[in-house]
Amino acid sequence: MLELRVLGDFQVTRDGEPLHLPPSRKTRALLAYLAVTGRQHQRERLCEIFWDIPDDPRGALRWSLSKIRQVLGSDESVLAADRNAVSLNVETDYARLAPLVKADLSSHATEELEAVLASIRGDFLADLSLERCFDYEAWRQAIASEVEIVELGILRELVERLGNEPRRALPFAQRLRRLAPDDASLAAEIEALEDKVRSAAAQATGRAPQTAASSAPPQAPLKPAVSPQDPGRAVQFCRALDGTRLAHASTGSGPAILRAAHWMSHLTFDWDSPIWRHWMRELSRHNRLVRYDERCNGLSQRHVVDISFETMVSDLECVVEATGLDRFTLLGLSQSCAVSIAYAIRHPEKVSGMILYGGYVKGWRARGDAGEIATREAVATLMRESWGKPNPMFRQAFCSMFIPGATHEHFAWMDDLMLRTVSPDDAWRLQNAFSVIDVSDLLEKVRVPTLVMHARDDNVAPVESGRTMAAGIPGARFIELDSQNHILFEGEPAFEEFIDHVRAFIAGTSG
């Protein structure tokens, strides 16, 4: 039996025995791409993906296909190629994992989940990155994120499911710990499982059980799993009402701030990014900051069908329940301002105060400005074709809307942020969902203290949107910040002012 293994370093095996592969990385990458996608591709498109630089890309493609035939054999039921198109029909280990990307893992048998985990030997196509093949690399990294999300989800599911079988659950908890080394609660869970395993072994031999504490050298104090200075990248998962997996994380201590999810977030990568890291650092400095990735974004489940406004509000409710928050400051950014407003109306007993930054009462399509709609539709069209690719025209248009004050470094990080956080189709779908948001009828129903802030020259949501929002919410205070950035940068006075106002507002409302 012929099989391609892509969950780790690339391998091709026949009856379990590895086959010799061509030395060309592009040829091996082409083979993997054809196998994983499992559909017919036009030769011209394959040339664009892999060979846009050589004088004869079609010749390069023919050469690679000839090398692939040498590996797989000449059976056209496996590799079919004519003058216009190419397709490959071969089993891959990813094919067994793919159905779990959108699945409710709790409905799958334990043995099936264990088998999928066993097939994950490392990152998706870990040894086949092609830095100059941007379309291929965007595809590879998108699938790698899916694999990471599924692996984390399966491990969480199995650790919870096998809690009464500590010997069986422990290896999964330890593997999860390697993927989430800063999760203090997981460290405690592993210690409890280890104690149960030792206790069971002691009972079997008639010896007294030895706990983790008693087995440690008496002079060696236990170290905390996460140091106070550690940014804390521990990620946990909960399920939305429709079964969608939502990733959430908590950092810092003090009065709680819950940041309602916005698009283009990634709970762990954001700590490395100059686009968002200063937000988390400052908001966690004196407070417990709870964040979650919106569905279709970051470490939450991708390619989810339902991305309606009502579902966004419901997801926020599920995260509040999963994190055990009793009363907190609700922080809305951009489109999540509208989500925050809807939540605060439904659960005023939970919200000590609400801070809204860069938001809008109506989405860009609902606002009805013909010029704005034309501009945003043009960007949306480019988005579907150019998201995460080095298209200078698209990047200029996109970055100029969100961060016109960007440096070259910010532009590069925005590219990575786009690539890692959301797929092109999901980005396009989300933008269309945001465009029709309209909470104009809800504003007067808000009964919690509210602070509205907005950048004066924001190109994504005009400053008038912020003024309208504040004017419609009873007792709301409006502050205009001197910035042109929809996402405030570290070091700009507007960000420092934003943080000062946040801290003063929380001090006045969280008592």
- Quote the Cα angle for 250-252-256, to 5°: 70
Q: Amino acid identity of 427?
A: A
Question: At residue 112, does pLDDT exceed 80?
Answer: yes
Say if 419 falls within a structural domain: yes
Angle at which helices 134-161 and 43-50 cross, to 10°: 90
Asked, for residue 290, whether it belongs to a domain, the answer is yes
Cα torsion angle, 52, 58, 60, 62, sign: positive
Which amino acid appears at position 135 of this protein?
D
Q: What percent of the chain has pLDDT over 90?
A: 49
Number of domains in the chain: 2
Q: Read off the pLDDT of residues 406-453 as tens digits, 9 standing for 90 and up.
A: 777 787 787 778 877 888 888 888 988 999 999 999 999 999 999 999
Cα 403 from Cα 406, distance rounded (Å):
5
Phi-psi region of 243 (alpha: psi -120 to 50; beta: other; left: phi over 0): left
Asked whether residue 383 is domain-assigned, the answer is: yes
> Is residue 495 in a domain?
yes
Which residue did the predictor score with more confidence, 510 or 67? 67
User: Could you tell me the pLDDT band of residue 54, with boundaries at 50, 70 and 90?
Assistant: low
DSSP conformational letter for 22:
-
Lowest pLDDT segment from 103-112, 283-292, 390-399: 390-399
Q: Which contacts qualify for 415-419: CB closer than 8 Å, 24 or more apart?
A: 415/388, 415/390, 416/269, 416/273, 417/264, 417/266, 417/269, 417/273, 417/275, 418/264, 418/387, 418/388, 419/138, 419/141, 419/142, 419/388
Average pLDDT over residues 2-26: 91
> Is residue 487 a part of any domain in this protein?
yes
For 52, the token pair is 């846009």
Query: Residue 72: which CATH number?
Result: 1.10.10.10
In a domain, 229, yes or no: no
Mean pLDDT of 8-33: 92
Q: Residue 486 and residue 367: Cα distance in Å, rounded?
A: 18
CATH code assigned at 345: 3.40.50.1820
pLDDT at 199 over 60: yes
> What average pLDDT is seen over the chain?
86
The per-residue pLDDT for 356 is: 98
Give the range of the structural domain holding residue 388, as residue numbers without chain letter: 238-509
Asked whether residue 172 carries a pLDDT value surpassing 50, the answer given is yes
Domain edge (last residue) among 33, 68, 93: 93
pLDDT band at 22 (very low <50, low <70, confident <90, very high): very high
**184 found inside a domain:** no
Evaluate if residue 50 carries a pLDDT over 80: yes
For the segment 452-462, the average pLDDT, to the nearest whole number, is 93
What tokens does 124 get?
A: 């998706």
Examine residue 298 and state whether it is found in any structural domain, yes or no: yes
